[in-house]
Amino acid sequence: MAQAILDVDLLAFERGSEATRLAVVDGVKRSLQTGFVYTSSDLSADLLDTAYGMLREFFALDPASKQRFVAPGAGGQTGYTGLLVETAAGSDHADWKEMLNWGETIPSQHPLRRHYPLLYPEQLLPEDVVPGITSVLETFHTAIADLQRRFLRIIALGIGCAESFFDEMTSQAPILTRAIRYPPMAQAPASGHVWAEAHGDINLITALPRATAPGLQVQVDGQWMDALPPEGQVILNTGIMLERLSNGLIPVGWHRVVAPAGFRAERLSVVQFCHPRPTTSLAPLPSCCTQANPQRYGGISAADALEEVLYAINLLQSP
């Protein structure tokens, strides 16, 4: 029988007694053995509704209008990415999806931006065709990033670190928010395509606050199962960077997006990838290395790990 994805309470961790906090940490540790967890949040439903409305308006534009917001050489870190571009590593078929990507803008002369221009591009959002979208999406990004940093405090305690361990690591990090439209499968140009092939994310954790239709499936104990969080809960999954830092104690959450049988509509979702600063060494933490679980990984930098994945999934293109 597959392990269960648990529903935990971030707000209870933040506001509850010590016993409550310990119970949440334990629940998160157990759930993340699947690579996934559901959590409560205080995200504004009005903000989610407004963001989704504006994103639908953008994706409804004609292809030529959307193509104006492609950022050449940005590696999918900002702007529009068209259909049949991103391809899961090892797959023969590109994903049947299109995307709008954005993140936080940091000053042009900031050392991180000067040393890692690929990871800190000038943001490109479709303000002139969807007036007001920039402010809404920036607010949305900040709210989800705050949620992820708060949840990482639970994970930090679970792997034997101080609660604030990830705070500095994710400050001014290249956290990326991505809106994804999955068109009806009947419109796919050929057989063999799915909305998104099976993959694991490269980052620390990923947040998925809502989708307009089913389709997300997660792999638990070798079996694919539908991700069906309780109403209003946020899905969180683990990435390769967290697996490396935890020396394999927290595995990658493998997932895919597949249209349900007979489903003829489109699907819209927004996800956010929480990355560490690019200078972060992904060597396993001492608290996760024991005689029974010796160090499995070396100390590749977060920047190098991310660029390797961007290359593998066909998002690194020449300017």
Residue 317 is predicted with a pLDDT of: 63
Write out the chain in H/E/C secondary structure: CCCCCCEECHHHHHHCCHHHHHHHHHHHHHHCCCCEEEECCCCCHHHHHHHHHHHHHHHCCCHHHHHCCCCCCCCCCCEEECCCCCCCCCCCCCCCCEEEEEECCCCCCCHHHHHCCCCCCCCCCCCCCCCCHHHHHHHHHHHHHHHHHHHHHHHHHHCCCCCCHHHHHCCCCCCEEEEEEECCHHHCCCCCCCCEEEECCCCCEEEEEEECCCCEEEEECCEEEECCCCCCCEEEEECHHHHHHCCCCCCCCCEEECCCCCCCCCEEEEEEEECCCCCCECCCCHHHCCCCCCCCCCCCEHHHHHHHHHHHCCCCCCC
- Give the whole-angstrom CA distance, residue 277 versus residue 108: 16
pLDDT in tens, the chain (319 residues): 567 899 999 999 999 999 999 999 999 999 999 999 999 999 999 999 999 999 999 999 999 999 999 999 899 999 999 999 999 988 989 999 999 999 998 999 999 999 999 999 999 999 999 999 999 999 999 999 999 999 999 999 999 999 999 999 999 999 999 999 999 999 999 888 999 999 999 999 999 998 999 999 999 989 999 998 999 999 999 999 999 999 999 999 999 999 999 999 999 999 999 999 999 999 999 999 999 999 999 999 999 999 999 999 989 864 3
Q: What is the pLDDT of residue 276?
A: 98
pLDDT of amino acid 191: 86
**Whole-model pTM?**
0.96
Domains of the chain and CATH, by start: 7-312 (2.60.120.330)
Sign of CA dihedral 132, 134, 139, 144: positive
Q: Which of 277, 141, 305 has the alpha carbon at shortest distance from 207?
A: 141
pLDDT of 161: 98
Nearest Cα to Cα of residue 28 among 19, 20, 37: 37
Residue-level pLDDT at 318: 43
Nearest to 122 by CA among 147, 99, 103: 103
